[in-house]
Amino acid sequence: MQLLIQKFGGTSVQSKENREHVIRQIKQALEKQYKLVVVVSAIGRSPDPYATDSLLDMVKYEEETDSAKRELDMLMSCGETISSVVLSNELQQKGIKATALNGAQAGLITNDEYNEAKIKHIKPDRIKHELQTHDVIVVAGFQGRTESGDITTIGRGGSDTTAAAFGAALEAEAVEIFTDVNGIMTADPRVVESASSIDVVTYAETSNLAHQGAKVIHPRAVEIAMQAEIPIRIRSTYLEEPGTLITSSWGQELGIDIPDRLVTGIAHIDEIARLVIPIEDNDLDSQAEIFSIIEKADISVDFINISSSFVAFTIPMDFIDEAVELLSEAGFQVNVTENCAKVSAVGAGMTGIPGVVAKITNALIENNVQILQAADSHTTIWVLIHDKHIKQAVNALHEAFELDSLNKQMDFS
Ligand code: ADP
Ligand code: ASP
Ligand code: MG
């Protein structure tokens, strides 16, 4: 039996008309003699009634206790469950042997970190059993259950991860992620009009782009597929295009040796705040205390800059109040710059190549983008800017690295 995993995101299952495209994609795979596990997200986006954010808006908890989080998981999981039954039923109406399972029934077992649960393992027996009598198993994404039977969800955007996890557990031939764009693009097409779809990309670069804000795929999904060595294809639900193939070695995949690209894509994350905290000359105790306060509050920090006279770092905007309160209580003065954004240029080929940082700074300065801070690793360069400059910055870098013609630079013929 050849098995394929297909995942359809919220917009793909949003309306009956869109689901006709979903069914067309499923039928095409069935015609190629595949059996399918189809993972679905909740129907649509807020204010659609069964979208995850709409369900969340139905309740209000004063405090984020474990009990509140457990109930939120029960509520949020309903979105994907409804979606799985609706699609399964529409497939049945077309004469396709389909059935729906929620995450718990499909055997996705997690720990009990409600709202952000980690997948422990998958018990594949039930799906394998259903595959004997059905051609398509529609599985509700984003959810699982603890060993003791509580419903959990695995973090926003988690249906991608569900798809990859079932791909690994069932040793599927590939995981196809269907969405509203034609694959991984050189930048978010909502920000860069000339962004182009990337034909082939490595797991490592994709994971990097996803961590830096390219929300077209969840980084955890990439990591699971990479470990299991299962190729992922990201495609548009509505087109007949091949989209992007994510694999370990794209040169090998194409049968030719292709050099790494200097820059593969530009990603960005907004809603970031920069905190600058003055300290006495070289006061090492204060430096350590600041980070232990933030760590105890479980706030993740980025763009850390420690000098003899100040400590600076960024945090998500949601945590400003908590961080400022805790640091002020400990006697620190905190200067906050709100509404910052992190723009990243990602490319496996930039290692050891001189001039990449210079190209980035020149492009930003020429476009009047103020750089608040910069950092680099061997495959990524990050810049912190004011978020009002996101569009200028991402477009400037996209142009500087000629990404609108990325696939042409790599002539596969
Ligand atoms: P789904 O609901 O199908 O999971 P998402 O909204 O989570 O879809 O992800 C698709 C969106 O990701 C696209 O509409 C696009 O705006 C955004 N996106 C951000 N960066 C990229 C990128 N580099 N390539 C493609 N899409 C991107
Ligand atoms: N519905 C969930 C969310 O909106 C999971 C997903 O779509 O992947 O985050
Ligand atoms: Mg998504």
Q: pLDDT, tens digit, for every residue of 364-387?
A: 999 999 999 999 999 999 999 999
Give the Å distances, CA to CA, from 79 to 14, 113, 153, 376: 12, 20, 11, 40
Nearest to 374 by CA among 349, 345, 347, 338: 345
Q: Please, what are the domains in the chain?
A: 2-257 (3.40.1160.10), 265-409 (3.30.2130.10)
- Is the predicted pLDDT of residue 163 greater than 60, yes or no? yes
Structure tokens at 184: 């991984």
- Ligand 1 centroid, distance to 216 Cα (angstroms): 3
pLDDT of residue 282: 83
For residue 41, give the DSSP letter. P
Which ligand is nearest the CA of 157, by number?
Answer: 2
CA of 51 to the centre of ligand 2 (A): 8
pLDDT at position 209: 97
Report how far residue 61's alpha carbon sits from residue 13's, in angstroms, rounded to the nearest whole number: 30
Q: State in Å: Cα 183 to ligand 2 middle.
A: 18
> How sure is the predictor about 253, in pLDDT bands with cuts at 50, 70 and 90?
low
Write out pLDDT tens, residues 151-161: 999 999 999 99
Enter the tokens of residue 370: 């103020």
Q: Decide: 275 and 315 in contact? Cβ < 8 Å.
A: yes
Q: Is 141 in the pocket of ligand 1 (CB under 6 A)?
A: no
Q: Which ligand is nearest to the CA of 214?
A: 1
- Please compute the mean of the pLDDT values over residues 160-168 and round it to a whole number: 98
What does the alpha-carbon distance between residue 388 and residue 399 come to, in Å, rounded to a whole number?
Answer: 19
Q: Which letter does DSSP use for residue 319 in this model?
A: G
pLDDT above 50 for 256: no
From the CB of 216, is ligand 1 less than 6 Å away? yes
Contact 308, 252 (CB under 8 A): no
Residue of 139, 159, 177 best suited for mutating to test ligand 2, as the one with most atoms within 8 Å of CB: 159
Ligand 1 contacts CB of residue 205 (under 6 A): no
User: With a 6 A CB cut-off, is 11 part of the ligand 1 pocket?
Assistant: yes
- Run of H or E including 149: none
In this structure, the residue with its CA closest to atom 6 of ligand 2 is 157
DSSP secondary structure string for all residues of 19-40: HHHHHHHHHHHHHTTEEEEEEE
Which residues lie at CB < 5 A from ion ligand 3? 9, 157
Question: Does the beta carbon of 6 sit less than 6 angstroms from any atom of ligand 1?
Answer: no
The first and second tokens of residue 256, run together, are 């030719």
Give CA–CA dist 246/232, Å, rounded: 5
CA 265 to each of CA 30, 257, 262, 268: distance values in angstroms, whole numbers, following the listed order = 34, 21, 10, 10
Nearest to 337 by CA among 268, 269, 271, 275: 275
Distance 181 CA to ligand 1 centre (A): 7
The 3-state DSSP class for residue 13 equals: coil
Task: State the DSSP H helix or E strand holding residue 49, giving kind and residue range, or none if neither.
Answer: none
User: pTM of the full predicted structure?
Assistant: 0.94
Beta bridge partners of 138: 38, 100
Which residue is closest in CA terms to ligand 1's atom 26?
216
266-294 mean pLDDT? 95
CB of 9 sitting under 6 A from ligand 1: yes
Nearest-angstrom CA–CA distance, 372 and 367: 15
pLDDT band at 412 (very low <50, low <70, confident <90, very high): very low
Is 268 in contact with 381 (CB distance < 8 Å)?
Answer: no
Q: Are 73 and 115 in contact (CB under 8 A)?
A: yes
> What's the CA-to-centroid distance between 245 and ligand 2, angstroms?
22
Ligand nearest to the CA of 78: 2
